[in-house]
């Protein structure tokens, strides 16, 4: 069973507001065999203001490729892109660890407008 980490250092509310977390819908999911760790390539629609962005997500242990398209997810949209193998990942798809430390995606429990910002 994975242990949870101690809380991070205290930050101000203004620091929290700098992290732009938005809701999106996965519109495409593909295998990503070139990744060093097992991962999927995702295309995520983050609404008209942001558009469709790419993300590499190490979610293969708890999520099946065929179940991902249509699923809502939360993403950090204002980190700089990262080169992951041959892919440029444009957003960070968020998750939390399960009991074994493997990623479980997090999302709203109802349909919401794409691009909505976490607050």
Domains and CATH numbers, the chain: 18-105 (2.40.50.140)
Q: DSSP letters along the chain, please?
A: -PPPPPPPPP--HHHHHHS-EEEEEEEEEEE-TTSSS--EEEEEE--TTT-EEEEEE--TTT--HHHHTT-EEEEE-SSPPEEETTEEE-SEE-EEE-TTS-EEE---SS---TTPBP-
Q: What is the chain's pLDDT, residue by residue, as a tens digit (119 residues)?
A: 566 789 999 999 999 999 999 999 999 999 999 999 999 999 999 999 999 999 999 999 999 999 999 999 999 999 999 999 999 999 999 999 999 999 999 999 999 999 999 98
């Amino acid at each position: 069973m994975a242990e949870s980490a101690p809380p991070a250092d205290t930050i101000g509310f203004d620091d929290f507001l700098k992290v732009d977390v938005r809701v999106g819908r996965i519109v495409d999911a593909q295998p990503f065999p070139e990744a060093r760790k097992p991962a999927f390539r995702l295309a995520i629609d983050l609404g008209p203001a942001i558009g469709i962005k790419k993300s590499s997500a190490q979610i293969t242990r708890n999520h099946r490729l065929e179940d991902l398209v249509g699923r809502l997810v939360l993403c950090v949209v204002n980190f700089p892109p990262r080169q992951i193998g041959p892919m440029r990942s444009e957003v960070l798809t968020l998750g939390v660890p399960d009991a074994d430390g493997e990623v479980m995606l997090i999302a709203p429990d109802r349909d919401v407008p794409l691009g909505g910002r976490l607050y």
